[in-house]
Structure 1
């Protein structure tokens, strides 16, 4: 087993809400790999439709006894989430070292953890860390549908009660006055700009935003309108949606005949999206080719955004790329992983 690989055993299974379970995983082969709050754990499920899948670690990074992952099952769930919802204590799952860049900034500025639904998972790990920093104001704001879908309610309430620097607020989109009276939530309906303005004192926040795409778009717009710097809003996108790309690269129509040439000295590499009829100058405003494609309105498939799952694999027709992540598995011959590659010169993609 490679140094960064582990064999994990399920030692506990907890039903967190109507559609979310947590699995406590203990390392039984290999060495425990430390992680940062907000990172995810790549699992080798070796299912026919999914070899590798990533799940955010929801446990405290200070706990080196293992990992906790929390998984939501959708009504038509399949693949990794369905498998993990059926797995029982004693099952063994191979894993790689934790990864991910959605982590806390290393300073003492105030923090807003703003989450919707299963997007709460990275915030749980972050909250554990922040509760041990009494000088740092923390606002934990969570939105979900109702009490039946409110995961980790008791766990978060305990932290909010015991940590004087943490304030909590929960909104139920379909709750009732009985939920407010019982203390299960503090607000009813969708989170709004007005709610955030009333909750948050003016300050220079680091914001960590995670949840469904529509929720994140609405909350990001609301925060920016309240004066939060867009660059301080750190966002985690789960599979299937489109991430926010702050700058749009220059674009032009793709000529009928695509000619692959060598980039002139001092010129920006050009990325050609053949199927879409676009060519785009690589100007450094995107972190990788997936973000560049999204900035043009394209919707490539993705999940982990860190070179693990292979969902974003795309055929490369010409050119060379460099990878910004250490790959666990290489793409197929002639393909690249969009989420962690950057052009080394002009590149033509079958997209």
Structure 2
């Protein structure tokens, strides 16, 4: 689904299915075409397709979103799937399964805003309490952060990734540090988590003070440590906020998470979780590269990101240095 010629074919199919399947008159505007998923904006709705071999995943996603919406009531909005004119939620056209979801209002949080990131953290704590009561078999993905960390650590040695000796040394130091803390971090029970609460997938209300009102892209929802979601927020603060004092900002964000009823993670916990998340990136992007589905440069960028986080962790004297 990444080739330009196939993208044009998908655009034609999107126009056909939106008009005939959902009787929409607005032309679809492509937003993203990935390996196994493509998305278009169609007026106030979002059109998505996956290869029809992935239709079961789309059905699981719809079931999960319906369960979360019922549990959340008016607390959070999640994508609602709209039936086609025949009543089918995932019509199949051109070898793909298609779905249409309603637009979620609100604005994307700003990574540079402490107020926004504290709002994200307190909202995430509320979400985790809500998800704790839902059964794990609603998960869309069967992965978890510990498993993906192990997969990423094992993949580092694969010569086809072409990591340099220096890069492998960085990754080895990070692996040692993580394993020294893993037993303590995994004492917290696993539960259903969002899987990717990065800012593009979050929506805040327009009122002041801001409140987390919506969550998009539940494709990676899984049974995992809540630290996996918190690590994604930590990544936003450390790598994307542009803060001159990112550790202080992270401490404030974690305090907001704890004050809202979340696990009282320390800055060291969150940084270790972030390192685990970057090994997950090695597993994901490295695997895609080896299958011929992704670029090499994103694989090569992971050690430098890990080095940035590792320096912060080691400077704090976390055990396992």
* Higher strand residue share: 1
TM-score, normalising length: structure 1: 0.25
Which is higher, the Rg of structure 1 or of structure 2? Answer: 1
Higher relative contact order, structure no. (Cα contacts within 8 Å, ≥ 6 residues apart): 2
TM-score normalised per structure 2 = 0.27
